[in-house]
Structure 1
Amino acid sequence: MTQATPKKVTVVKCPTCKTDVVWGEISTYRPFCSKQCQMIDFGEWADEEKAIPGAPDMSDSDGWSEG
């Protein structure tokens, strides 16, 4: 008879408050620890305090034309 291997639990840090969060169905707001931390992060993105780096959008710059 073989023994079952125990399941490894993955724990991540909440991006907002750095609290440990179990990555699984018990953590409804993962990777956040709570709805409050999720909404704080969402607000930062909405206020453009956070952004993913990339090429600048040149469509609204002066001198742009379609040809």
Structure 2
Amino acid sequence: MKVKCPTCQQDVEWVAASEYRPFCSKKCQLIDLGEWADEDKVISTPVQDSALDSGIDPEDIEAMLSEQHSDFFKH
């Protein structure tokens, strides 16, 4: 399958051997990364504060974690 490079619109084979897919090259990949870093590209819908609120009290989380076996986080 062929896709267009998001940066330069060149055709790119969508296969495991395409190291930079969906980009055609490292250069195009870095250009895209720079655009995100400069905030030229953004996610169109802002995150709502309500989506960040899990409804769980941080103290409850700490209490649950303290009840775990000592080797729980060592995996």
> Percent of pairs identical after alignment?
59
Instruction: Select which of 10, 13, 18 maps to 1:19.
Output: 10
Question: Unpaired runs of 5+ in structure 1?
Answer: 1-9, 59-67
For the pair 1:53 / 2:41, whether they are aligned, the reply is no
Aligned equivalents of 2:22 and 2:33: distance in 1? Answer: 13
For structure 1, which segment, 12-21 or 46-55, has the greater mean C-alpha deviation from structure 2 after superposition?
46-55
TM-score, with length taken from structure 1: 0.67
Aligned to 2:20: 29
TM-score of the two chains, using structure 2 as the length reference: 0.60
Identify the structure with the greater helix proportion: 2
- Residue ranges of structure 2 left out of the alignment (5+ in a row): 50-75
The structure 1 residue matched to 2:32, chosen from 41, 47, 58, is: 41
Deviation, structure 1 residue 57: 6.7
**Which stretches of structure 1, 4 residues or longer, exceed 6 Å deviation after superposition?**
none
